[in-house]
A and B are shown apart, each in its own frame.
Chain A
Amino acid sequence: MEMDWMPAIPIGRAIEYAIDLFSEHCSFLTRAFSDLVESGITLIINGLMFFPPWVLILAFTAIAWFLSRKRGLALFTLAGLLLIWNMNLWGPTVSTLALVLISTLIAMMIGLPLGILSALNQSAYRAIMPVLDVMQTMPAFVYLIPAIPFFGLGPVGAIFSTVIFSMPPAIRLTCLGIRQVPTDLVEAADSFGSTRWQKLFKLQLPMATPTIMAGINQTIMLALSMVVIAAMIGAKGLGGEVWKAIQRLEPARGFEAGIAIVIVAMILDRIMQRIGKQSDKPL
C-alpha cells in the first residue's frame, strides 16, 4: 500500500541528480583519470602476462614461502596455481590479482591515515564511524552504478567501487588497534615528554600493528569479492569468467572460475595471517 497522504520524499532522485550533475560537469576529468589508470592497469597486467605462467607460479610460491616460512603453504600455492593454469584460467587470474593489488593499495593509502585520524581525534571519530556503517551495510552492487557515469565501463570503475567497499575494515581496525594501546603506556610516553608524532610512531603504531594487519587482511578479502562482482561493469578477470558462465548457462565454466577464486582467496588469506602473526612478535 502506498503512503498517499504524503508526497514521496525524493531521496533517490536527489542522489541521482547529484550524480548526474557531477558526471555532467566533471566527467571529462574522471574520464581522463580513468583512461590514465586504465592504461596503468593494462601495463601491469601485460607486464605480468609477459612471463610464461610457470615462471610466475614459481615466483608466487617463492614469495609465499618467504613471507610465511611454511612449507605447507608454499606447496598449496604451487599446486593451486598449477590447477588454475590447468583449468586455462591463468590470464583472468592475473588480471584479478592485479585489480585486487591496486585496490588494496589505494584502500590502505586512504584508510590507514583515516584510521589514525579517527583514533586520535574524537570529532573525526564521530564523523567517520557512521559513514563506515553506511559503507558496510550498503549492498555492494549499488556502488557499481555511479562508477559507470564517472569512469565508464571497465577496470577503473571496478577499482573505484572496490576501494569504497573494502576500505572500512582498514579504517576501523587501524582505529581500534591504536585505541587499544593500554592507557598506562600512553601515559608513560606522555610523561617522558613525547610529541604526538613520537608517541604515534614509537608506541601506538608498533603496538597496533597486529590489529592493523588483520584489517588489511579483511580489506584484501573484501576487495577480492568485490572485484568479482565488478565483473558486471566490465572488470575482466575471474569474475568476468563467472559472469560469462551465468549469461551462457555454463555451470562447468562457472564452477571452474569459482574454484580459482577460492584458491586465490585462500592463498592471500593464509599469507596475510602469517604476516600478521609475525608482526605480533617483538620488533
Chain B
Amino acid sequence: MSTIKERQTVDHKIVVQNLYKIFGNHPRKGVKLLKQGYTKDHILEKTGLGVGIADVSFHVDEGEILVIMGLSGSGKSTLVRCLNRLIEPTGGKILLEGTDVTLLSREELRQLRQKRFGMVFQHFALFPRRSVIRNVEYGLEVQKVPPKERRERAMKALEQVGLKGWEDSYPDQLSGGMQQRVGLARALALDPDIMLMDEAFSALDPLIRRDMQDELLKLQEKMHKTIVFISHDLGEALKLGDRIILMKDGRIVQEGTAESILSNPADEYVAKFVEDVDISKVVTAETIMKNPGEVASYAHDGPRAALWKMRQAGLSSVYVQHKGRLMGIVRAEDASSALKAGEKDLKNIIVTDIQKVSPETPAYELFPLLVESSPLAVVDSEEHLMGVIIKGTLLAALAEGVQTNGNGLDAGDTDRQSN
C-alpha cells in the first residue's frame, strides 16, 4: 500500500497532502479543532480564527489543466497561493516532483518561484508604471537575465499571446482582455512548467472571456504546461478542466472529470452548483443535438452496410430506423462479428433498449441519462430520429453558451467509441 502511494507521489507533478491554512493568532489551535470535527463557523465564533483551507489533499498531473472551483470564500484562492507560498500554509505538505515546498528556505523558495511557477492574477496586477514589454520582462529582470536575452524572450512571449506591436504601450492604454494577455505573457516569459491562474478570466466580459479560454487551450496544445486554474464559473471549468475540484468552506467536496461531477453530484452543494449552470435550464435537447448523419434501414441493410455507414460518419455505432421509426442501434463490434458469422441482416445485433428523449428535455435532465448510456437519441412524437446527443456535445454546448451549429462531432467521437 505504502509503496503504491509513494510511486503515485513521484508520478504526479504536484501532490498536496492534508493542507491546512488557518488565519489568526495561534493557528495550530484551529487545526486541532478542525481535526476534532468543529465547523468553520463554529471555530470562527469560538476562537476568532478564520479557516482558509481544511485538510485538503489532491494531486496535479504533468501537462493537465486542473480547475479548482468554488464560490467566493470557499478557499480556492487561498489554496492556489499556498502552492507557491504567497500564503504560508499552517500545516500539511506540498510535494512538487517529490520536493516538499513547505520546507524550502526563503532563498530556495525564490528560486522556485523564479523558475517553476508562472502566476496570472484576476485583476491582472500589471505594473502601471512599466511599459508592456517591461512588464513581461519583469520576471527575467528579477532573475538578472542580461537585457538583450530578456528582451528577446519577452518579445517571444508577447508574440505567443498575440500582442506583437504593443510592447511600448502602457497597461492603462490596453483593454481588459489585452491586459490579461500581458499578464499571461509575463508568466510565460519565464518558461515555467507550472502555471497558477487565479480567476484569470473572471474580470473580463463574457465574449472576451471565451476568446481567452480558447486562446489558453490553443496555447496549452503547444506548451503542455501543468496548469492550476481557479474559477467560480462552472462553464469555464467544464471547458478548460481536464479534472475539476470543487471546494466549499475550505474543503474539497468533489473531485473528478466534468462528466462525473455533473452526473453524480457528491452532495447538495455540488448539485446546486450544477443546477445553477443557468444555461442548462434554458438549453434543451433540441438546441444541442447533432445531425445523426447516416441511419441504417432495418429492412434493407445488413452488417456490411451498417459498418460502411459508420465509417462514412466516422463513428462506432449507427441508429437503425424502420418505416420512419427509430428501432435501435447497432454497434461496430457486433456488426463486424455478425459479418464474420455470415449474417445478412441486423436482426440479431440490433439493440432496441436505447435511451430516447424528446426535443424539449432540458439539459440538466440529460446529464444522468448520458451517464447511463451515450449517445442519446432525440425523437419526435412519431418516434422519428431527429438528432443525437453525445456527452461531449452537451458539455461543449454548455461551456460555449450554446453555439452549436452543425460542424461535426469532433468533441464526441472518442466518447462514442468508448461507449
Binding site for B on A (CB under 8 A): 182, 184-185, 187-195, 198, 202-203, 206-207, 282-283
Contact = CB atoms under 8 A, between A and B. Distances in A.
Given A185-B127, A282-B129, A282-B131, A193 B121 contact: no
B138 to A, nearest CB: 6
Contacts of B119: 188, 191-192
A207 B190 contact: no
Contacts of A207: 128-129
A187 B121 contact: yes
B125 interface: yes
Most chain B Cβ neighbours within 10 Å, of A202, A206, A207, A283: A202
A193 B139 CA distance: 8
Given A188-B127, A189-B138, 16 more contacts: A184-B125, A187-B121, A191-B84, A191-B119, A192-B113, A192-B139, A192-B142, A193-B112, A193-B113, A193-B139, A195-B142, A198-B142, A202-B141, A207-B128, A282-B170, A283-B129
Contact of A282 (B109, B117, B123, B128): B128
Contacts of A184: 121-123, 125
Contacts of B110: 193-195
Most chain B Cβ neighbours within 10 Å, of A194, A198, A283: A194
A193 B142 contact: yes
A230 B125 CA distance: 48
B86 A187 contact: yes
Interface string B121-164: 11101111111000000110111000000000000000000000
A194 to B, nearest CB: 5
B129 A191 contact: no
Contact of B111 (A185, A187, A193, A282): A193
Contacts of A194: 110, 142
Interface string B188-202: 001000001000000
Nearest to B190: A192
A187 B125 contact: yes
B264 interface: no
A120 to B, nearest CB: 15
Contacts of B115: 193
Nearest to A182: B125
Nearest to A203: B127
B114 interface: yes
A203 B86 CA distance: 17
20 contacts: A184-B121, A184-B122, A187-B125, A188-B121, A188-B125, A188-B127, A189-B138, A190-B86, A191-B119, A192-B186, A192-B190, A193-B143, A194-B110, A195-B110, A198-B142, A202-B138, A206-B129, A282-B129, A282-B170, A283-B129
B73 to A, nearest CB: 18
Nearest to B111: A193
A112 to B, nearest CB: 19
Contacts of A193: 109-115, 139, 142-143
Q: How large is the interface on B (under 10, 10 to 19, 20 to 34, 35 or more residues)?
A: 20 to 34
Given A190-B113, A282-B170, A185 B125 contact: yes
Interface of B: 81, 84, 86, 109-115, 117, 119, 121-123, 125-131, 138-139, 141-143, 170, 186, 190, 196
Most chain B Cβ neighbours within 10 Å, of A188, A191, A195: A191
Nearest to A188: B125
A199 to B, nearest CB: 9
B384 to A, nearest CB: 57
Nearest to A195: B110
A200 B84 CA distance: 21
Contacts of B170: 282
Nearest to B112: A193
Contacts of B130: 282-283
A270 B109 CA distance: 47
Contacts of A206: 129
Contacts of B114: 192-193
Nearest to B85: A190
Contacts of B131: 282
Contacts of B117: 191
Nearest to B138: A192
A207 B128 CA distance: 8
Contacts of B123: 184
A184 B119 CA distance: 11
Contacts of B112: 193
A202 to B, nearest CB: 7
Contacts of B126: 188
B139 to A, nearest CB: 4
Nearest to A206: B129
A132 B130 CA distance: 34
A282 B111 CA distance: 30
B414 to A, nearest CB: 36
Nearest to A198: B142
Nearest to A194: B142
Q: Nearest 7 A-B pairs (CB), nearest first?
A: A193-B114, A193-B113, A188-B125, A191-B119, A192-B139, A184-B125, A193-B110
Contacts of B196: 191
Nearest to A184: B125
A193 B142 CA distance: 7
A248 B112 CA distance: 74
B95 to A, nearest CB: 20
Contacts of B81: 187
A191 B128 contact: no
A195 to B, nearest CB: 7
Contacts of B86: 187, 190-191
A248 B138 CA distance: 65
A22 to B, nearest CB: 42
Most chain A Cβ neighbours within 10 Å, of B113, B115, B125, B141: B125
Contacts of B109: 193
Nearest to A279: B129
A192 B150 CA distance: 15
A194 B127 CA distance: 14
B142 A191 contact: no
A282 B134 CA distance: 12
A190 B122 CA distance: 16
A203 B121 CA distance: 17
